[in-house]
Amino acid sequence: MKLPFKSLQSRIVFLFLSLILVVQFFGFVAIWVSINTNARVAITEQLGVGEQVLRTVINRRGENLALSASILAADYGFRQAIASNDKETILSALENSGARIESDVNMLYSPDGLRQVVSGQLPETITDATILKLIETTQVGGESFNIAVFRGVPYLLVAVPVRAPLTIAWIITGFEIDDTWAARIQDVSRLEVSFVTKIIADHSASIKPKWNLSSSTMSKLSGQESISGIPNQWLQQATDTQSTVNQVFDNEISIQGRDYSSRYVELLNEGDQVLVAVLQRSISESLAPYFTLQLNLLVLTILGAFVFIAGSVLTAKRITKPLTELVNTAELLEKGDYSKPIVSNSTDEIGHLSRTFDRMREAVAEREQKISKLAYWDELTQLPNRAFFTDQLVKFSENYQENNQTFSVLMMDLDRFKHVNDVLGHSAADQLLAGVAERLKQSCKSELDVVARLGGDEFGIILANTHSQLALDVANRLQIALATPVALNDSFVDLSAGVGVANYPEHAKDIEVLLSRAEIAMYAAKNSSGSVAVYHSGLDVGNEENLSLVSEIKQAVEQNQLCLYVQPKIDFATGKLLAVEALVRWNHPERGLIFPDMFIPFAEQTGHIDKISYWMLTEAARYAAIWQKQGLDIPLAVNLSARDLIDMELPNKLKQILDVHQLLAHSISLEITESSIMDDPERALDTVQRIAKMGIQLSIDDFGTGYSSLAYLKRLPVNELKIDRSFVMNIERDQSDVTIVKSTIELGHNLGLKVVAEGIENQKVWDILKLMGCDYGQGYFMSKPMAADKLIDWTTQWAAAPAI
């Protein structure tokens, strides 16, 4: 059998319940059948008893009649009255006797069958013929009582002879069989009793005889086919047979919707005179006492069913609860949650299953931990890897959606790692990475922070619950942590790194974008003199505004939208103009003048920087030629990028440019930063040395911001150091800056280099630097950068009235 239940529990409950219901149902049916059978047997017995009661009542009353009449007949005075034909006395004696037993008929007949005296209201229907027959029967059979029907009314009659000593008269006395009889019999037998007579209006067979209910305990309903609900056909059947006496038969009939067991007792069937007594017992009444029994049974059945349901539910629960728990645990396992143990103390199969399942859970959890560790772990640094880092970023971003907690991403790339790798070997490089990882971990105190190795020498940090300034603080802390050299194979290696910071959701709401912006910031940090940079849109090529600039840079060069600006370098000793630094401005057709900060980084990233550098060199050469013709012979210093330095053709290009304008090498000088060399020091050094050999002067720009080794500086064929403006600007307030600048000047002089200070903004700074022995100065105090065209005018003006 296939049950429409999905759960084991409902199947068990259904099975148990079905069984109990089936058992109860058959029990119920069996009891019902038995009750019905017993009730019908009881009814039949009752009907039998009822019939006995009926006959007994008839006999009793008949005997009463006979006794009463006999007493009268024996009375001497009564006989005397008859002998003397004293009718008045006879009548009163009859009345008196009749009153004693309340008989309905009291008459006196002569021996030769003549009606002599009639007492009371004799039913007119009583015929002499019937009486004479009764007398004759009595004469032949002795004292007896007879039933007679007169026009549908049944009577019980008795004839008693009056003897003196021969019969001198007959006393006829009788009762009408009326409702009191029916009631009396019902009292004793508890049956419904009806007396039905037949009235034959016409003897022809065509007219059906009419049945008449003479008395009954039932409500008297006359119908065409039935009488008080008793169908004529049964009455007919009760009297049809030719059997003479006391035919009895039973059947069941329905009267007004109630079933009755009926017994038909034929009391008289002689010619026109027919009397049938119908005894009836309501089956439903007989069954009524059993209904209580059945009701109790039903209640017991229902209670039993409930008990069974409860029991089977409990049983089913006991079976299925551990299963459900196993299912739940399995679902958790499916989701990857291995934390919930399955506890089962039961010793049965399910307990065994549970324990086996739990061992499986532990084994799977252990294996998955191993696998995920492999997938998310970097063995070298004992840090999570990029995959883990990205997952964590997703979680952090989800956490932001829920709890509005911001976070920052720091991305760090070691400077010169390739160099370390090349010089000290892979093993040392690995040790270096592990050391860096250790420092990073120590720098990030918060449990929530995530430090990961993203690949190569690149590390990523997620700072939880932070904001821009905090992130910057951490970044600076990292720098400090890295400042201590790392000991490798008995030697110390200086570390530096570019750190890029991007904040979520301030800088990006998308994890990918956030990462790429942290990276952009990182590269910006590495490119600029600073080692930490927070992302801003200006850094980003991907930024829409910048993107258009990037695409327009090439155009700008080709369409000559760039213009050359210059800023003078003044000799501290003489106050005279000694040289100018060539700077670039973009005269954008729509946006106006754009400063180099806005587009040089992109030019570097996109590879257009060589075009700009070439343009600058060419333009500087052109002006140098113009100014020389006007009598101003000063060098123009052009900045070169790291990319320019690895261009092997650069010396040739320079030579060509100088040749075009018929210039000597000293007319152009070049400024390079420490970091631009460090990207590929070998090639850069090679290029620089070739340029130096051409006689072109070189400067180290932004000196002091990089962490370049003095060993490199020593090897560089430079003529000049440019102290970064960040040291100069605060020199009047910051003693450490004074020390740095002073030391740098001394260092430069000791190496035989000229020292230039940038960012001089007032007289005081000028004076301090002059005192320190700085060679040249550059800054707003003397002159802002100006268009190259205006330099001639400026020199005239400066010569006339120098600001210093």
CB 757 within 8 A of CB 769: yes
The distance of closest approach from Cβ of residue 128 to other proteins in the complex, given in angstroms and rounded to an integer, is: 18
The distance of closest approach from Cβ of residue 182 to other proteins in the complex, given in angstroms and rounded to an integer, is: 36
Distance CA 709, CA 715 (A): 10
Place of tokens 């910006």: 524
Distance CA 704, CA 720 (A): 13
The distance of closest approach from Cβ of residue 78 to other proteins in the complex, given in angstroms and rounded to an integer, is: 11
If the CB atoms of residues 167 and 237 are measured against other proteins, the closer one turns out to be 167
The distance of closest approach from Cβ of residue 142 to other proteins in the complex, given in angstroms and rounded to an integer, is: 8
Distance CA 543, CA 513 (A): 11
If the CB atoms of residues 56 and 84 are measured against other proteins, the closer one turns out to be 84
Distance CA 498, CA 523 (A): 7
The distance of closest approach from Cβ of residue 163 to other proteins in the complex, given in angstroms and rounded to an integer, is: 6
CB 534 within 8 A of CB 471: yes
The distance of closest approach from Cβ of residue 294 to other proteins in the complex, given in angstroms and rounded to an integer, is: 59
Distance CA 107, CA 134 (A): 13
If the CB atoms of residues 165 and 341 are measured against other proteins, the closer one turns out to be 165
Binding site for other proteins (CB under 8 A): 74, 76, 79-80, 82-84, 139, 142, 161, 163-168
* H helix intervals, 638-731: 642-645, 650-660, 674-678, 681-693, 710-715, 725-728
If the CB atoms of residues 84 and 491 are measured against other proteins, the closer one turns out to be 84
If the CB atoms of residues 163 and 395 are measured against other proteins, the closer one turns out to be 163
Closest CA to 429 of 457, 407, 403: 457
If the CB atoms of residues 110 and 587 are measured against other proteins, the closer one turns out to be 110
Closest CA to 45 of 257, 217, 276, 286: 286
Burial of 668 (0-12, 13-18, 19+ CB in 10 A): buried
The distance of closest approach from Cβ of residue 212 to other proteins in the complex, given in angstroms and rounded to an integer, is: 36
The distance of closest approach from Cβ of residue 82 to other proteins in the complex, given in angstroms and rounded to an integer, is: 8
The distance of closest approach from Cβ of residue 108 to other proteins in the complex, given in angstroms and rounded to an integer, is: 15
If the CB atoms of residues 82 and 637 are measured against other proteins, the closer one turns out to be 82
Closest CA to 32 of 257, 300, 287, 301: 287
273: left (phi over 0), alpha (psi -120 to 50) or beta: beta
> CA 208, 214, 219 angle in degrees (round to 5)?
100
- Cα of 666 vs its chain's centroid, Å: 80
The distance of closest approach from Cβ of residue 107 to other proteins in the complex, given in angstroms and rounded to an integer, is: 20
Alpha-carbon separation of residue 56 from 181, 238, 261, 263 (angstroms):
12, 21, 21, 16
The distance of closest approach from Cβ of residue 85 to other proteins in the complex, given in angstroms and rounded to an integer, is: 10
Distance CA 786, CA 257 (A): 125
If the CB atoms of residues 139 and 736 are measured against other proteins, the closer one turns out to be 139
* H helix intervals, 205-268: 232-240
Per-residue b or e along 87-96, where b marks 16 or more CB atoms closer than 10 Å to that residue's CB: eebbbebbee
If the CB atoms of residues 161 and 704 are measured against other proteins, the closer one turns out to be 161
If the CB atoms of residues 162 and 617 are measured against other proteins, the closer one turns out to be 162
Distance CA 641, CA 601 (A): 10
If the CB atoms of residues 74 and 375 are measured against other proteins, the closer one turns out to be 74
